[in-house]
Amino acid sequence: MNSPRLLIRFSFLLLLLSSLPATAAEKTESLQLTLPPTFYAVPGVEMNIYFDNIVLTETPEKYQFEVSCKLGKTEQNRWTLTPAASDAGEHPLSVKVTDANGKILGTAKTTLHVSAANAGSERNTVCRLLIIGDSLTNATTYSNEIARLLSAPGNPDWQMLGTHKPKSAAEGVAHEGYGGWTWQRFVSQYEPNPDGTNRKRSSPFVYLGKDGKPVLDLTRYFKEECNGKTPDFVIIMLGINDCFSAKQDAIDEKIDGMFTQADILIKALQAAAPQAEIGICLTTPGNSRQEAFYANYKDRYSRWGWKKIQHRLVQRQIEKFTDREKQNLFIIPTELNLDIVDGYPVNNGVHPNKVGYDQIGASIYSWLKYRLEN
């Protein structure tokens, strides 16, 4: 028979063990299934949720993904839908992840909003867009896709604002996208001796003030560079360069610093263009292939290392920008609809091929159509 003293000691040991933090292994094995509160689609435009993009694991093939939604179909690595006109409206969607034995490892819910194909077509003013980003925007491919989709019947007249018009830009396409750039560079970068490269140039939003010191001035930017026009929509795709080099034990600290700079730019945009709706693109996942990361970075950065950073960054972006529509701040779930196998070349870690860029463009276009309904 156990003595009261032994029982007390055993109870104390259990209490002590339960109070200890989770081990690294326990944390690593958590799938951290993550979905944004809402995602968007448009009739005739394919939309997907790629399962590897919503969980934190190196081996998504070991798990089963069950999607419950009255629209779309589940395939091996994704849920996919090309909506019909009759699908317009809101549709609840849930995802359940199980292991090989059927044990539930995670569940999450979101809402699919399918806009009408002609949303915004009755608008009697030009729809003006300003796109801000890094090398993914500099490539201009997803901006071209947005322009192509907006030029289809059922859309308003549109105009893209911006000073950057690469040779690859389609007619009317412009943006402020520069390779290697961060939120901080757009807020404060001033280069007195620019050489025409992306790295050695001033932010298009930063000017010398009357005191001779650089100052962030969006009002002047819109006046001098956009003929006094201000955007109806601002689309921002930044975060990779801000956080890519984060140490694994200091990811949140790196994200905190990024958000400090983001708040400065967003506040300046809202002051200069108070009517503009600002869409924050959730940071896209990288290539599924480790060899692609090795081709770019050798042993400095790995695919798994970036996935852990990117997944946490998406979680933090969702936490920060959810339920801020009254402030004209919105989430664009660009991380869902990106094929990290066929949407990437074999030799690039974070830059998609045309398939992937077009998927990013479709996600942004779908969000725009949602906002054009209102």
- Residue 20's pLDDT band, with cuts at 50, 70 and 90, is very low
Percent of the chain with pLDDT over 70: 92
pLDDT in tens, 242-271: 999 999 999 999 999 999 999 999 999 999
Residue 23 pLDDT > 50: no
Supply the pLDDT for residue 200. Answer: 87
CA 195 to mean position of chain CA atoms: 30
Mean pLDDT of 195-220: 93
Mean pLDDT of 277-292: 98
- Read off the tokens for 164: 């950057």
Supply the mean pLDDT for the chain: 93
**CATH number attached to the domain at 24-114:** 2.60.40.10
Higher pLDDT, 2 or 187: 187
Mean pLDDT of 44-64: 97
Residue 334 pLDDT > 70: yes
**CATH number attached to the domain at 127-372:** 3.40.50.1110
- Read off the tokens for 262: 């983001």
In which residue are the tokens 């946490």 written? 312
pLDDT in tens, 205-214: 999 999 999 9
Supply the pLDDT for residue 196. Answer: 81
Supply the pLDDT for residue 199. Answer: 78
Mean pLDDT of 50-73: 97
- Residue 8's pLDDT band, with cuts at 50, 70 and 90, is very low
Supply the pLDDT for residue 21. Answer: 37
Supply the pLDDT for residue 374. Answer: 81
State the Cα–Cα distance between residues 277 and 369, nearest whole angstrom.
13
Residue 19 pLDDT > 70: no
pLDDT in tens, 65-98: 999 999 999 999 999 999 999 999 999 999 999 9
Strands 214-216 and 206-208: antiparallel
Residue 28 pLDDT > 80: no
The pTM of this model reads: 0.91
Determine contact, residues 154/115, Cβ cutoff 8 Å.
no
Residue 1 pLDDT > 70: no
Residue type, position 327, single letter: Q
- Residue 304's pLDDT band, with cuts at 50, 70 and 90, is very high
Mean pLDDT of 164-173: 97
What string of H, E and C letters represents the secondary structure of the chain? CCCHHHHHHHHHHHHHHHHCCCCHHHHHHCCCCCCCCEEEECCCCCEEEEHHHHCCCCCHHHCEEEEECCCCEECCCEEEECCCHHHCEEEEEEEEEECCCCCEEEEEEEEEEECCCCCCCCCCCCEEEEEEECHHHHCCHHHHHHHHHHCCCCCCCEEEECCECCCCCCCCCCEEECCCCCHHHHHHCCCCCCCCCCCCCCCCCEEECCCCCEEECHHHHHHHHCCCCCCCEEEEECCHHHHCCCCCCCHHHHHHHHHHHHHHHHHHHHHHCCCCEEEEECCCCCCCCHHHHHHHHCCCCCHHHHHHHHHHHHHHHHHHHCCCHHHCEEEECCCCCCCCCCCCCCCCCCCCCHHHHHHHHHHHHHHHHHHHCC
Residue ranges per domain, the chain? 24-114, 127-372
- Give every CB contact of residue 64 below 8 A, 6+ residues apart in sequence: 97, 98, 99, 100, 102
Please state, in angstroms and as integers, the Cα–Cα distance from residue 369 to each residue in 42, 45, 146, 208, following that order: 7, 12, 11, 38
Supply the pLDDT for residue 343. Answer: 98
